[in-house]
Amino acid sequence: MIRFDNVTYVYPTGVKALNGVSVEIGRGELVALMGENGAGKTTFIKHLNGLLKPTNGKVYVDGKDTRTLSVAQLSRVVGIVFQNADDMFFLPTIEEEVAFSLRNLGFSEEVVQKRVDWALKFMELEEYRKRSPFLLSGGEKKRLALAIILAWNPQVIAMDEPTVGQDSAQKEKLKEMIKQLNLQGRTVIISTHDVEFVAELRSRVILMSKGRIVADGRAETILTDGELLSSCSILMPQVAATMSRLADLGFNAKVISVDEAVRNIVEVLRRFEHTRGA
């Protein structure tokens, strides 16, 4: 679905934000793009809908070189929710915000209404539809920003730092929505440095540092590799950090969820009791 072929991107200021990035993301995958501030995550995401074009190398979306397509064409395939998307509302009601871009994309009024209904329902914003977007809470604004993108029904959804400024209940909701969108067959890419969030998503992780991809694998593998993470200035998820400190006592260090940790602790303690009893 997405292919980066040795992509380098240099900003006009001379900063090399992507440096030889090659990666493929398949249709229907769920991917967390991780890395410290300045690693290149936002720059990567801006290449997905052609807002930025590679200085060197190629980006392909659904097999097509992004240089040959306009941002408007690419945006039908890849919907991006930017980090500050929730400051950009300008219409009197929530439903009008969602309908606006659909009308611009040329959909019939019947389709616009159907899609607005669906997107607001999916994002659990239906009861607010006649309200001003400015009256929403931070988490609801994020959901509205996502509803606007979802209404276009793009095959790929990318979210830049979706958990920033969200409380734990909002993150929980966001996580469920991301999982559902992915289960419905969409390719979902989130950029984040929130290790706890990714540990719960259990997705593929593409780890970036200084414009390069330094690791690519399952969350269980990458988020338990202390050395790798600290070389990228990222902390391990708390569960993994705890379990890795108990590894000498026979506990499994490669665990990123609380449930798994508890299961392993109980198992090890049972074994211990058993040996003592015998």
Ligand X SMILES: Nc1ncnc2c1ncn2[C@@H]1O[C@H](COP(=O)(O)OP(=O)(O)O)[C@@H](O)[C@H]1O
Which residues of the shown chain bind ligand X in the complex (CB under 6 A)? 11, 13, 15, 17, 35, 37-43
Residue 17 touches which member of Mg ion, ligand X, none, C-beta under 5-8 Å by kind: ligand X
Residue 28, classified by CB atoms within 10 Å of its CB into exposed (0-12), middle (13-18) or buried (19+), is middle
Q: Which is nearer to Mg ion, 41 or 186 (CB)?
A: 41
* Least separation in angstroms between CB 12 and ligand X: 7
* Least separation in angstroms between CB 41 and ligand X: 3
Q: Which is nearer to ligand X, 51 or 105 (CB)?
A: 51
Residue 11 touches which member of ligand X, Mg ion, none, C-beta under 5-8 Å by kind: ligand X
235 in the Ramachandran plot: left (φ > 0), alpha (ψ -120 to 50) or beta? beta
Residue 15 touches which member of Mg ion, ligand X, none, C-beta under 5-8 Å by kind: ligand X
Residue 166 touches which member of ligand X, Mg ion, none, C-beta under 5-8 Å by kind: none
Residue 38, classified by CB atoms within 10 Å of its CB into exposed (0-12), middle (13-18) or buried (19+), is middle
Q: Which is nearer to ligand X, 14 or 185 (CB)?
A: 14
Q: Return d(Cα 216, Cα 168) in angstroms, integer.
A: 27
* Least separation in angstroms between CB 66 and Mg ion: 19
Q: Give the number of other CB atoms < 10 A from CB of residue 12.
A: 5
Which contacts of 20-26 are long-range, i.e. CB under 8 A and separated by 24 or more positions?
20/57, 20/212, 21/57, 21/211, 21/212, 21/213, 22/57, 22/213, 23/206, 23/213, 23/216, 25/1, 25/187, 25/189, 26/1, 26/187
Q: 58 and 9 in contact (C-beta within 8 Å)?
A: no
Subset of residues 26 to 55 that bind Mg ion, contact rule: CB under 5 A? 41-42
Q: Which is nearer to ligand X, 44 or 128 (CB)?
A: 44
* Least separation in angstroms between CB 39 and ligand X: 4
CA distances (Å), origin 173, targets 9, 43, 169, 179, 209: 34, 27, 6, 10, 29
* Least separation in angstroms between CB 40 and ligand X: 5
* Least separation in angstroms between CB 191 and ligand X: 6
Q: 94 and 136 in contact (C-beta within 8 Å)?
A: yes
Q: Which is nearer to ligand X, 28 or 38 (CB)?
A: 38
Q: Which is nearer to ligand X, 44 or 251 (CB)?
A: 44
Residue 35 touches which member of Mg ion, ligand X, none, C-beta under 5-8 Å by kind: ligand X
Residue 37 touches which member of Mg ion, ligand X, none, C-beta under 5-8 Å by kind: ligand X
Residues that bind Mg ion (CB under 5 A): 41-42
